Amino acid sequence: MKQLLLISLSALLVSCGGGDKQATDTASPAKVADGTQQEVKQSWQSEHDKAALIEQAKLAVQALGGTLKGELQSAMKSGGPVNAMDVCNTKAPEIAKSVSADKNMAVSRVSLQNRNPVMGKANDWQDTVLNEFETRKASGEKPDTLAYANIVKTSDGHEEFRFMKAIPTGSLCLTCHGSELKPEVSAKLNELYPDDKATGFKEGDLRGAFVVVKQLAE
Ligand code: HEC
């Protein structure tokens, strides 16, 4: 029943959300055990569709990651991390929205230790996959190769395509997600995100994941 899909991801250049390495990914097989959803029986056709959907999802992730990276870098250059924080705060959600509309798939970022209290918070199945990523990393898989893809039937009868791609923590990320933050960075974080859980990361930790969701036919 278990099938591994080999996904080759080209370079993901990311920022307020993303790693920056070339990766060959192994999508984990369908494993969403929450009772309300079940795996869709996989005919040759749906496997075929799934491969195409994964390709689209990878492009959507690249678009979001690349745009965020560009915005973050230019904001850091022009006004340092506090300025860049404002950019992440206001632009990251906007960029995710516009990439989603453009690619006709909902693209977002989630984390087990989220900063954005609404958009950054994983729902049940995303939480399961993030925990799976942690387990796979602990057993030796490289953080930048962790991905997941599946098609499930939701409780309201829709088929839903789900894709996740892990986001490793790079050294640049530590400015705003590490353990030793500059006082002005901490102050800005307290102001914008009083319930921030996204600090204390080390290089190589899983910072979170990109999520791509697309509703398929009823
Ligand atoms: C200038 C500060 C800054 C830097 C540098 C930074 N981030 Fe963030 N990050 C933020 C802010 C602010 C948010 C919340 C954005 C929002 O409200 O949507 C955030 C949100 C995120 C999220 C979304 C999930 C959540 O916790 O809400 C991920 C994933 C993430 N960052 C990963 C990274 C990675 C990986 C790097 C390094 C490549 C990085 N960030 C660098 C400030 C930063």
| Mean pLDDT estimate for the chain | 83
Examine the pLDDT at 24 and tell me if it is beyond 90. no
Examine the pLDDT at 40 and tell me if it is beyond 80. no
Instruction: Measure 119 CA to ligand 1 centroid, in angstroms.
Output: 12
81 lines ligand 1 (CB under 6 A): yes
Examine the pLDDT at 108 and tell me if it is beyond 70. yes
Q: How many whole angstroms separate alpha carbon 206 and alpha carbon 127?
A: 13
Residue 148 has a pLDDT of: 98
Band the pLDDT of 156: cuts 50, 70, 90. confident
Q: Which domain holds residue 125?
A: 5-215
Residue 16 has a pLDDT of: 56
DSSP letter for 40, please.
P
Number of separate domains in the chain: 1
Residue 87 has a pLDDT of: 80
Determine contact, residues 158/36, Cβ cutoff 8 Å.
no
DSSP letter for 195, please.
T
Q: Whose CA is nearest to atom 37 of ligand 1?
A: 173
Instruction: Measure 174 CA to ligand 1 centroid, in angstroms.
Output: 10
Q: How many whole angstroms separate alpha carbon 167 and alpha carbon 19?
A: 5
Q: Is 35 left (phi over 0), alpha (psi -120 to 50) or beta?
A: left
65 lines ligand 1 (CB under 6 A): no
Query: Burial letters for 15-54: b for 16+ Cβ neighbours within 10 Å, e otherwise?
Result: bbbbbbbebebbbbebebeeeebeebeeeeeeeebbeebb
Instruction: Measure 200 CA to ligand 1 centroid, in angstroms.
Output: 13
Residue 27 has a pLDDT of: 42
Instruction: Measure 44 CA to ligand 1 centroid, in angstroms.
Output: 39
Band the pLDDT of 218: cuts 50, 70, 90. low
% of the chain residues with pLDDT over 90: 67
The mean per-residue pLDDT over the stretch 72-83 comes to 92
Q: How many CA atoms lie within 13 A of 130 on its CB side?
A: 23
167 CA closest ligand 1 atom index: 35
Band the pLDDT of 14: cuts 50, 70, 90. very low
Q: How many whole angstroms separate alpha carbon 131 and alpha carbon 73?
A: 30
